[in-house]
Amino acid sequence: MHVHVISGSGEAKFWLEPEIELAKNIGHARKQLRQIEQLVEDHYDEIVGAWKQYFGN
């Protein structure tokens, strides 16, 4: 399970399980990555719920 984050600065991919972990980064600065990771953590339940609804359990 993972999430892609795309912005004007670049693209990042974070694994969601077994824990949130950066898988790929193209263009984001470290500060941006920390902010993105915090957003993923803050919205983890929503992201996982949407993933499961779309892809199934």
The helix or strand, by DSSP H or E, that contains position 7, with its residue range, turns out to be: strand 2-7
Per-residue confidence (pLDDT) for residue 57, from 0 to 100? 76
Task: List beta partners, residue 10.
Answer: 7
Q: Where exactly are the structural domains of the chain? A: 2-55
According to DSSP H, which parts of 1-57 are helical? 30-42, 44-55
pTM, two decimals, is 0.90
- CA 23, distance to chain mean position in Å, is 9
Task: List beta partners, residue 5.
Answer: 12
Q: Quick check: bond before 18 cis, omega within 30?
A: yes
pLDDT digits (tens, 9 = 90+) for 2-32: 999 999 999 999 999 999 999 999 999 999 9
Residue 49: pLDDT above 90?
Answer: yes
